């Protein structure tokens, strides 16, 4: 039989998972706004989206810390070691009514995390391809066909190496 304290902790975990789900949905919306800003060359929109992502990521990190604290407090209540416990392990050891709800929330959260990662990676790739296209455009427009160029109005005899607009390591 569960104590009232255990029931309260499980409810707190459910509420926290709801907050994580809501925050990830909001983050996904910001990432979509970021994509729109990239496509439309909207630097102000891109800046707003970047700042929004940072705010939401900070909140998510705090919620994750809170989740870990709840798990650590709840584990001894249900007979688990708090060290290295996962949400899945905890779900396997809670009463059936809570198990179903927590497992559903975990599944939703995992799907959202995957969508966030895919969307973020797609935006990153879009930026890289956009920069690569613009670099090729500049090369064609300005007929930059050599790896080195002459610097200054008279050249002054100094050659400088052409640098890529994008970092290939990114």
Q: Angle of helix 4-39 relative to helix 43-78, nearest 10 degrees? A: 160
CB 59 within 8 A of CB 23: yes
pTM reported for the whole predicted model: 0.76
CB 17 within 8 A of CB 29: no
Which residues constitute the domain of residue 133? Answer: 4-161
CB 10 within 8 A of CB 74: yes
Determine, yes or no, domain membership for 96. yes
Q: Classify 62 in phi/psi space as left (phi over 0), alpha (psi -120 to 50) or beta.
A: alpha
Tens digits of residue pLDDT in 145-155:
555 555 555 55
Determine, yes or no, domain membership for 167. no
Number of domains in the chain: 1
Determine, yes or no, domain membership for 94. yes
Determine, yes or no, domain membership for 170. no
Determine, yes or no, domain membership for 169. no
% of the chain beyond a pLDDT of 90: 52
CATH of the domain at 122: 1.20.58.300
Q: How far apart are CA 44 and CA 29, in angstroms?
A: 17
Determine, yes or no, domain membership for 133. yes
Neighbours of 38 (CB within 10 A): 19
Q: Tokens 């070691």 label which residue?
A: 81
How would you class 30 by CB atoms within 10 Å of its CB: exposed for 0-12, middle for 13-18, buried for 19 or more?
buried
Determine, yes or no, domain membership for 168. no
Tens digits of residue pLDDT in 30-53:
999 999 999 998 999 999 999 999
């Amino acid at each position: 039989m569960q104590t009232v304290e255990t029931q309260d902790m499980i409810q707190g975990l459910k509420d926290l998972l709801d907050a994580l789900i809501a925050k990830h949905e909001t983050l996904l919306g910001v990432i979509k706004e970021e994509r729109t800003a990239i496509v439309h060359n909207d630097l102000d929109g891109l800046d707003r989206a970047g700042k929004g992502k940072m705010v939401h990521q900070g909140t998510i990190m705090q919620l994750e810390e809170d989740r870990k604290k709840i798990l650590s407090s709840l584990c001894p209540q249900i007979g688990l070691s708090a060290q290295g416990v996962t949400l899945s392990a905890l779900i396997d050891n809670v009463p059936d009514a809570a198990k179903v709800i927590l497992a559903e929330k975990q599944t939703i959260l995992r799907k959202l995390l995957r969508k966030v990662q895919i969307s973020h990676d797609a935006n990153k790739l879009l930026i890289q391809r956009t920069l690569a296209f613009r670099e090729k455009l500049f090369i064609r427009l300005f007929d930059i066909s050599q790896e080195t160029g002459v610097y200054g109005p008279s050249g002054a005899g100094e050659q400088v190496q052409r640098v890529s607009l994008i970092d290939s390591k990114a």
